[in-house]
Amino acid sequence: MFNLASGKIVLFFQDGNLQSGIITEVQNRHYKVLNQEAKNYILPPARFILVTEKVYEPASTKTLEAFEKQIRNKIEEEGENWLLQLQKTQDSFTFEEICSKFGFEGDIERFALFILLQQRKDLFKFKKDVFSFRNEEERLKYLQEEAETRKRNRYLKEVEKFLQTYQDLLPSLNILSPIKDDVSQGFGQDSKTQFLSELRELLRSNVPKDLAKLLRKYSDGLDMRTLIRNIRLLLSDISPDTDKIAADSGIPINFSSEILQEAQKLHERLKQEAENQNVTNLEAFTIDAIDSPDYDDAISLQKQEQGWSLGIHISDVGGQLPLNSSIFREACERVSSLYLPCETIPLLPPSFSSDVFSLKAGENRKVLSLYLFLDNQFKIQKEEFKSEYICVKQNLSYKDMDSYLSNNQHSSLFQLVRNINQGHKIFESNGKNRYEWNVVCKNGELMMECIDFYSPSRLLIEELMVLYNRFLAEYASASGLPCIYRNIAQYEEEEDNSHNYCQAFLSTKAAFHPGIGSKAYLHCSSPIRRVTDIINQAQFEALLNQNRSPFSEEELIKLIPAIEERVSYLHSVAARSQHYWFLRFLQKKYLQRTLDAILIRSITDGYIIELTDWDKHIFLKSNEILPLHHSVKLILTEVNPDEDWVKGEIIV
């Protein structure tokens, strides 16, 4: 136990750093300690590591400075000699043991030795009052950790400088108000990229803790989510009209100016290359949603002597996008495009997703094609993959194609669709409902839109994409090509065929896919929208060209966990956004109107109810006792999208 009094100099740790101070006052079993920067601490005796024997007066910063100067001089004069003597022993020791061995009794020598041992943590470990020598492996590891710590501290200081500069602006920002000035000039590009990445990570998982602590220091009463949203808005990581759920989810939204500039340069080069290519003579067309800007697949059907040639043409992103580019690294972070009611968050910069990689009518595009050679009954006889340039003739919507097929039931394309519909029946096998209602925003207006997954054109595209992915997977697997395959962990079918269960997962090992009935399966038909498709496409293109695969199996194995985690998270974000905007739709269109509903189950403070017109579930706040599983009428009186509840009158 130390003999403590005013005027004694002490060593203590503060925020992980060793500090010296002088006791100036005793306060209820605690001690007021003044450091050299004139900052005062109130500390209990247990915080003191070392205490002088002598009292130094006056108890001031000047006295402390003189004492510290003597220590620095002593370390400079004797430090190397002390270290040499310690290294001769290579034994563990306590501080008192080594002071006794060296014959140190004075304050200056004892303090100088302790500080020296703390300064040379590359040589010594200190645990439970015992010093011990590090071996070479431990020493190298410590030096690496120290370098990382210094780098981290420099980065946090840069962040703090930014927060200090804009401390007054951040609380007053409104996500609906655009920011015109460039406020990122004080940031190095690497630090800005890291800062934005960590802000998004904080929203997803509440780490890193040191950044969270720093943000709270400058929050000025804002909750963490609002503060981060305002910082991202300030740094153009999100926009004033960004989907609220997406903005708060911590996913990448906007592309940095550096990535956009890199994309523009590559866009110009690829466009010029495509314009100078000879294209395969095909009557190719795309079928997609009427407002889709990213056409990544096209089909063609040509009559031949012995039957038909069916072409499935996929935009060749993997063969054109440099895999060492920041654009590809950003795609690996995003993993997938995200389609929300009021906006699309693309996988690739818009100049790629909506232009140079999109199979737009009348423009040359590089594709990876699968040709299926069919007999006159549309049975597959053989297949062939080919890398080529094509020029799509038409960009059709599902509605356009459904209308054509309905009015031309004797056409070869209609016969192909009918043959497909009698084949795998993939929707029935995976249990997907035929119809799905979703809220969409068109021309600034919220409305409900119904998708018919069994429409002829959707069946056609879905089955052709499955065929493409299946044939490519089986070809790659037979060739021993490492890819990211999509496997099924479990598949159970009950006798009445009412319950199918499957757990999909990604793997570099191909396996039988029971839902499709193929030896292997993967995704490669949507490279504009999914990063796995880009990777698989790049791997397969290398195989076709007899080049070395850009990714080894070990590299793909390392990528898979992050991809699976992000895909799951994006599904959650999409569902939450759809639900939020559905409540906004109800708030705007259905207050004081009657809706058909069924009370599904009771929960705390209310009920989960189904709005049967759209097959949507919402939370009804109510203290009434209401009948479950009965059709009722609901008159909405209040809707709160932010807190996810509605109130209303139930008419039984």
CB atoms within 10 A of CB 544: 14
Read off the amino acid at residue 327: I
Q: What is the mean pLDDT of residues 480-506?
A: 75
- Of 116-130, 611-625, 634-648, which range is least confident? 116-130
Per the CB < 8 A criterion, the answer to whether 537 and 314 are in contact is yes
pLDDT, residue 63, reads: 97
pLDDT, residue 171, reads: 84
pLDDT, residue 426, reads: 44
Q: In the structure, what pLDDT confidence band is assigned to residue 568 with cuts at 50, 70 and 90?
A: very high
Coil, strand or helix at 576: helix
Distance CA 463, CA 48 (A): 73
- The owner of tokens 């060793």 is 18
pLDDT, residue 1, reads: 65
Q: In the structure, what pLDDT confidence band is assigned to residue 493 with cuts at 50, 70 and 90?
A: low
pLDDT, residue 50, reads: 96
Q: What is the pTM of this model?
A: 0.87
Asked whether residue 599 carries a pLDDT value surpassing 80, the answer given is yes
Per the CB < 8 A criterion, the answer to whether 364 and 355 are in contact is no
Residues with Cβ within 8 Å of 565's Cβ and at least 6 positions away in sequence, in order, are: none
User: Concatenated DSSP letters for 313-359?
Assistant: EEE-STTTS-TTSHHHHHHHHH-B-EE-SS-EE-SS-HHIIIIITS-
CATH of domain 590-651: 2.40.50.140
Pairing mode of beta strands 606-611, 500-507: unpaired
Q: What is the mean pLDDT of residues 613-620?
A: 97
- For 364-406, how does the pLDDT look when each residue is reduced to its tens digit (9 = 90+)? 999 999 999 999 988 899 999 999 999 999 999 999 999 998 8
- Of 185-194, 204-213, 503-512, which range is least confident? 185-194
Percent of the chain with pLDDT over 70: 94
Distance CA 471, CA 490 (A): 22
**Per-domain residue ranges for the chain?**
9-133, 138-241, 279-570, 590-651
Asked whether residue 572 carries a pLDDT value surpassing 70, the answer given is yes
Report the Cα–Cα distance between both ends of the chain, in Å, rounded.
77
pLDDT, residue 82, reads: 95
Per the CB < 8 A criterion, the answer to whether 517 and 424 are in contact is yes
As a whole number, the mean pLDDT across the chain is: 92
Token output for 378: 């549309």
pLDDT, residue 431, reads: 58
Asked whether residue 500 carries a pLDDT value surpassing 60, the answer given is no
pLDDT, residue 186, reads: 67
Asked whether residue 176 carries a pLDDT value surpassing 50, the answer given is no
- For 13-37, how does the pLDDT look when each residue is reduced to its tens digit (9 = 90+)? 998 899 999 999 999 889 999 999 9
Give φ, ψ of 35 to 5 degrees.
-100, 180
Q: In the structure, what pLDDT confidence band is assigned to residue 617 with cuts at 50, 70 and 90?
A: very high
Q: In the structure, what pLDDT confidence band is assigned to residue 197 with cuts at 50, 70 and 90?
A: very high
pLDDT, residue 189, reads: 86
User: Concatenated DSSP letters for 592-652?
Assistant: T-EEEEEEEEEETTEEEEEETTTTEEEEEE--S---TTSEEEEEEEEEETTTTEEEEEEE-
Q: In the structure, what pLDDT confidence band is assigned to residue 175 with cuts at 50, 70 and 90?
A: very low
- For 514-545, how does the pLDDT look when each residue is reduced to its tens digit (9 = 90+)? 888 899 999 999 999 999 999 999 999 999 99
pLDDT, residue 89, reads: 79
- For 218-246, how does the pLDDT look when each residue is reduced to its tens digit (9 = 90+)? 998 999 999 999 999 999 999 999 999 99
pLDDT, residue 427, reads: 43
* Residue 581, CA distances (Å) to 136, 571, 595 in order: 59, 15, 18
Q: In the structure, what pLDDT confidence band is assigned to residue 128 with cuts at 50, 70 and 90?
A: confident
Asked whether residue 424 carries a pLDDT value surpassing 70, the answer given is no
- Among candidate residues 273, 467, 301, 277, the one with its CA nearest the CA of residue 391: 277
pLDDT, residue 48, reads: 96
Coil, strand or helix at 513: strand
- For 136-152, how does the pLDDT look when each residue is reduced to its tens digit (9 = 90+)? 999 999 999 999 999 99
Asked whether residue 627 carries a pLDDT value surpassing 70, the answer given is yes
Asked whether residue 491 carries a pLDDT value surpassing 60, the answer given is no
Asked whether residue 503 carries a pLDDT value surpassing 90, the answer given is no
pLDDT, residue 178, reads: 47
- For 252-295, how does the pLDDT look when each residue is reduced to its tens digit (9 = 90+)? 999 999 999 999 999 999 999 999 999 999 999 999 999 888 99
- For 317-327, how does the pLDDT look when each residue is reduced to its tens digit (9 = 90+)? 999 999 999 99
Spell out a b/e string for 366-404, using b for 16 or more CB atoms within 10 Å of the CB, else e: bbbbbbbebeeebeeeebebeebbbbbeebbbbeebbee
Asked whether residue 330 carries a pLDDT value surpassing 80, the answer given is yes
- Of 350-364, 484-498, 522-536, which range is least confident? 484-498
pLDDT, residue 169, reads: 86
